[in-house]
Amino acid sequence: MSALRNSGGLALLLVTLGAAAAEPAVQPSADDRCFQVLQGRLDDLSKRQSRLEDQSSSQGVLSLLNQIEVLQAELARLRGALDELDHRQQIADKRQKDVLADFDLRLKEARELATRAAVAPGAAAIPAGVPTPIVAALAAVAVDPEAETKAYEAALNRVKAEDYPTAVAALNGFLKHYPNAALAGNALYWLGFSYYAQGDYKNAQLSQQRLLKDYPQHAKAPAAMIGLARADIQLGEAGKANQVLDQVIAKYPKTEEAAMAQRMQLLLK
């Protein structure tokens, strides 16, 4: 009897399991489907965000590289401008040194001449019997070497200070009072230089021509010829300028003035 009951219970269990196995699989709910859709969209947005971040990073690098190139170009331009300014400063420094060296040399020469001067100025050196008006005129012309040197020094200081109108007046005054002075040739050169600096090319031309005529062997003759050629060019007389430059090259070869003359001729071609 007990066995029968056990057999019936077992049969019931088997029927129940079979029925459970025969039931269809549970379908996902609407919430599950919505979750899956949202999860897919979230994954898609994450991928898009990653791509945008990568693209933004690349664009940032390119922008940075472009800025670096712009800065490098600007730096190169500034360096070039600095080099040009440095070159101009070197030229200006050299010019200033040349002016000072010339001044010191001429001042020394003038002082030596003053020291060696043996004849006293004034009417004592004038022969007897000369009419009084002439004696007075000759006495006025008598030169005081120290005064001459100071007058030249004062005029040249105006050139060094680039006060060219005053320099012109002072140099013309010097040449008027000391026409035969040892420094007259130098005064004519700086007079032409000062006229040129003011744009008065005609008087610059005349001053250098006068120096070359009155003092053809003067130490400033090569520089005066360069100054004359520059004035000729400014006055539209390129042919005359070329002739003067040819003379500089032929007469003063292997000098700075000859090299400058060659460069000027290249510009005239």
Do 222 and 252 meet the contact criterion of CB atoms below 8 Å apart? yes
Q: Cα–Cα distance between 139 and 224 in angstroms, integer?
A: 33
pTM of the model: 0.52
Q: Cβ atoms within 10 A of the Cβ of 211, count?
A: 27
Q: Cα–Cα distance between 101 and 82 in angstroms, integer?
A: 28
> Cβ neighbours of residue 160 under 8 Å, at least 6 residues apart?
96, 99, 100, 103
Do 120 and 139 meet the contact criterion of CB atoms below 8 Å apart? no
According to CATH, the topology of domain 101-268 is 1.25.40
Classify burial at 175, counting beta carbons within 10 Å of its beta carbon; exposed 0-12, middle 13-18, buried 19 or more: buried
Percent helix, strand and coil across the chain, each to the nearest 5: 80, 0, 20
> Cβ neighbours of residue 203 under 8 Å, at least 6 residues apart?
192, 195
Domain boundaries, the chain: 101-268
Q: Cα–Cα distance between 151 and 28 in angstroms, integer?
A: 117
Q: Cα–Cα distance between 245 and 2 in angstroms, integer?
A: 146
Res 170: pLDDT:
94
Q: Cα–Cα distance between 199 and 215 in angstroms, integer?
A: 25
Sign of the CA dihedral with 12 first, then 15, 19, and 20 last: positive
Q: Residue 155, CB half-sphere, CA atoms under 13 Å: how many? A: 28
Distance in angstroms between the alpha carbons of the first and the last residue of the chain: 140
In a structure prediction context, what are the per-residue pLDDT tens digits for the chain, which is 269 residues long?
Answer: 444 444 555 555 444 545 444 444 445 555 566 666 667 766 776 777 677 666 666 666 667 766 777 776 676 666 666 666 666 666 766 666 666 666 666 666 555 555 544 443 443 444 555 455 544 444 444 556 788 888 999 999 999 999 999 999 999 999 999 988 889 999 999 999 999 999 999 999 999 999 999 999 999 999 999 999 999 999 999 999 999 999 999 999 999 999 999 999 988 87
Alpha helices (runs of H) in 2-29, residue ranges in sequence order: 2-22
Res 244: pLDDT:
96
Angle at 31 between CA 28 and CA 37, to 5 degrees: 90
